[in-house]
Amino acid sequence: MSRPVDLDLLPEHAEVGKGGRLTIAGVDVLDLCEEHGTPVFVYDEQHIRNRCREAVAAFGADVAYASKAFFCTEMARVAHEEGMRIDVSTGGELFVALHAGVAPERLVLHGNNKSDAELAMALDAGVGRIVVDSFDELDRLERLCEARNARPAVLVRITPGVEAHTHEYVMTGQDDSKFGFGLASGDAEKAVGRLLGAPSGPELVGVHAHIGSQIFALDSFAKAVEAIAPFFSTLGVSELCIGGGLGVGYVEGEPTPSFEGWARAVRAAAADAGIPAGVSLSAEPGRAIVAAAAITCYTVGTIKDIPGIRTYVSVDGGMSDNPRPVLYGSGYEAFLPRETAASRPRTVTVVGKHCESGDVIVRDAAVPEDLAVGDILVTPVTGAYGHSMASNYNKVPRPPVVWVRDGAARVVVRRETFEDLVSRDC
């Protein structure tokens, strides 16, 4: 493969500028690297805003941004400003959202093991929805509600017994799952039975199901709706959330389905299954909002050619800023922003600086012939589950997050420093 990188994989406002240099929202990426150093995550802010708007247009105001995909104070503000609810699944995510000033009623609390402290924090803040995941959680929630005389709106998370076509680690809708109440086992029925009869405490307003992540086949969602419908229709509740999971193209030739198409498929399945038109059908996308909004820029430090075997190109980040290749075998593209549209006839393996052989970022990456030490190398579509799953492995400080918009760049998460690395040591 020697084709240039597919520009459709880049953020919406990426352009090939002077001399082939990459710009995003009018900001020269090489200049930005010079100023902020590498590795650095660069996000196209308007791209994020546009995806949020599309999600709201497709699903309505109940649609939530799944903060686990990428979160920081500014991301919380922007998703909120653009009209999305925000799904938080831990006390930490809840804290960030509240810190950002998100209206608590626009928050949805998730989690398969919510602690007393997390539930109390959510009740005291007044979050809009709590998605109940287990009988133990129901026990805790009822007790905490009684102490506060609280009646929070809850959805029951069910596992509809649908296997989405995706990586096993991110499949969640099957019967054998740590999440939610099984439909097949009768647990879902038991859970709603307990809630529907109760005059006080948690109030059942809807049902939730999340079948997995990075799903391209829209009929997987339709199957889930079909499986849930008979159960849902007996409850007389008004909200059905189909979770997140819409797939995103990471490499050439992988399509990215639209929010509109996703919503259409879900609505059609709901109508076919007899779910009344007045029911609010919503979703909870994370990846599809932020993945393609960002690129990661690295500096090439070492090139090791093993004749007849492989060429290793080592960059200054690795599995600490992008664990997805190691965890899921995920593929990425690579290119040089100094000559964005150059053909890429050379095959190399892009690796990180961590002390293990598994620390691969792109196996068999197509790169330009003249790739050299000192080059800035970019991997696109790194806006989801990169920064959010970043670690300090080998005490590598986590990269900054820089947002660009209308010709200007601003740091929304600063680079970690060596001092940060010892700041919690006692």
| Helices 259-272, 218-233: crossing angle, 10 deg rounding | 40
With b meaning 16 or more CB within 10 Å and e meaning fewer, what string describes 98-120? bebebeeebbbbbbeebeeebbb
CB of 343 to ligand LLP, least distance (A): 30
The smaller minimum CB distance to ligand LLP, of residues 51 and 68, is found at 68
- For the bound state, the minimum distance from the C-beta of residue 71 to ligand LLP, rounded and expressed in Å, comes to 12
C-alpha separations of 363 from 300, 352, 393, 406 in Å: 15, 11, 21, 34
Among 36, 210, 387, 405, binds ligand LLP (CB under 6 A): 210
Closer CB to ligand LLP, 160 or 245, in the complex: 245
Closest CA to 281 of 295, 269, 293: 269
Binder of ligand LLP out of 36, 114, 324, 387 (CB under 6 A): 324
Taking the least distance from each CB to ligand LLP, the nearer of 23 and 330 is 330
Binding of ligand LLP by 326 (CB under 6 A): no
Distance separating alpha carbons of residues 10 and 379, to the nearest angstrom: 9
Residue 426 to residues 392, 395, 396, Cα–Cα distance (Å)? 18, 17, 20
Q: What does the block give as tokens for 378?
A: 């970019």
How buried is residue 211: exposed, middle or buried, by Cβ count under 10 Å (0-12/13-18/19+)?
buried
Restricted to residues 267-286, the positions that interact with ligand LLP (CB under 6 A) are 284-286
How many residues touch ligand LLP (CB under 6 A)? 21
| Residues that are catalytic | 355
Q: What is the dihedral of CA 302, 307, 308, 312, to 10 degrees?
A: 0
Q: Contacts with ligand LLP in 44-103 (CB under 6 A)?
A: 66, 68-69, 87
Residues facing residue 191 across a β-bridge = none
**CB nearer ligand LLP, residue 29 or residue 290:** 290
Q: Considering only 47-55, 116-124, 237-245, 392-400, which stretch makes contact with ligand LLP by CB under 6 A?
A: 237-245
**Cα–Cα distance for residue pair 379/392, rounded to 1 Å:** 20
Instruction: Supply the DSSP symbol for 48.
Output: H
Beta carbon nearer to ligand LLP, 159 or 340: 159
Contact indicator for 282, 241 with CB cutoff of 8 Å: yes
Tokens of 11: 């953020």
Q: What is the DSSP letter of 171?
A: B
Helix (H, G, I), strand (E, B) or coil at 109: strand
Please state whether beta strands 280-282 and 64-66 pair in parallel, antiparallel, or not at all (unpaired): unpaired
Among 49, 51, 110, 387, binds ligand LLP (CB under 6 A): 110
Q: Does 288 bind ligand LLP (CB under 6 A)?
A: yes
Q: Binding residue for ligand LLP (CB under 6 A) from 337, 385, 401, 402?
A: 385
Of 46, 67, 174, 214, the one binding ligand LLP (CB under 6 A) is 214
Residue number with CB closer to ligand LLP (38 or 214): 214
Residue 212: its H or E element: none
**Binder among 243, 325, 337, 399 for ligand LLP (CB under 6 A):** 243
Comparison of 242 and 342: residue with beta carbon closer to ligand LLP: 242
- Overall residue count recorded for the chain in this entry: 426
Q: Which residues pair with 299 in a beta bridge?
A: 376
Do 352 and 317 touch, CB atoms closer than 8 A? Answer: yes
**Tokens at residue 31, please?**
């200049």
CB 80, min distance to ligand LLP, A = 17
Closest CA to 208 of 352, 80, 112: 112
Which stretch in 24-32, 98-106, 206-214, 226-234 sits in contact with ligand LLP by CB under 6 A? 206-214
In the complex, what is the shortest distance from the CB of residue 336 to ligand LLP, in angstroms, rounded to a whole number?
Answer: 25
Nearest to ligand LLP of 231, 328 (CB atom): 328
CB of 9 to ligand LLP, least distance (A): 16
Q: Establish if 246 lies at the interface with ligand LLP (CB under 6 A).
A: yes
- From the list 56, 103, 125, 170, which residue makes contact with ligand LLP (rule: CB under 6 A)? 170
User: CB of residue 197 vs ligand LLP: minimum separation in angstroms?
Assistant: 26
Q: Give me the least distance between CB of 172 and ligand LLP, in Å please.
A: 6
**In the complex, residue closest to ligand LLP by CB:** 244
- Per CB under 6 A, residues contacting ligand LLP are 66, 68-69, 87, 110, 170, 210, 213-214, 243-246, 284-288, 324, 328, 385
